[in-house]
């Protein structure tokens, strides 16, 4: 079992930056998959970025070049650096971990064993 707690969300103007954190209750250095997902009102939850234990990352086209995922194994924390934010980035952002069926299903089908409670990001124009 692992608990995930997100933080760092908030309100920002378009063009601004935020850094989200996801603190895990245990070591994440052997976790096969971790990632960030988001859900806007009235829309399905979608993958933002995922990272596998070998360092392979998968980014949504809409965030490539603007968002960066990073892991700090010493702090058991996953980060999402978000730059050049746009109003369409407004959503609840969730951290997830462990992929019982592999990275593809984790990212595209949201098949994760553990989810955080989410942190709200609001970008105004």
Per-residue pLDDT tens for 48-58? 999 998 889 99
- The per-residue b/e assignment along 78-110, b for 16 or more CB within 10 angstroms, e otherwise, is bbbebeebeeebbbbbbbbbbbeeebeebbeeb
Longest dimension (CA), the chain: 40
Q: Which stretches in the chain have pLDDT values below 50?
A: none
Amino acid 59: pLDDT: 97
Q: Is 22 helix (H, G, I), strand (E, B) or coil?
A: strand
Is residue 17 a contact partner of residue 83, using CB atoms and an 8 Å limit? Answer: yes
What H or E segment, with its residue span, contains residue 121?
Answer: strand 119-124
Q: What is the pLDDT of residues 99-117, one digit of tens each?
A: 889 899 999 999 999 999 9
């Amino acid at each position: 079992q692992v608990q995930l707690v997100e933080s760092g969300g908030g309100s920002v103007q378009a063009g601004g930056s935020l850094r989200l954190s996801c603190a895990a209750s245990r070591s994440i250095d052997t976790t096969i998959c971790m990632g960030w997902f988001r859900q806007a009102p009235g829309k399905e939850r979608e993958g933002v970025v995922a990272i596998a234990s070998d360092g392979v990352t998968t980014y949504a086209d809409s965030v490539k070049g603007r968002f960066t995922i990073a892991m700090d194994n010493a702090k058991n924390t996953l980060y999402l650096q978000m730059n050049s934010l746009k109003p369409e980035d407004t959503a609840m952002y969730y951290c997830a971990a462990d992929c019982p069926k592999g990275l593809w299903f984790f990212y595209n089908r949201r098949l994760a064993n553990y989810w955080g409670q989410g942190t709200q990001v609001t970008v105004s124009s």
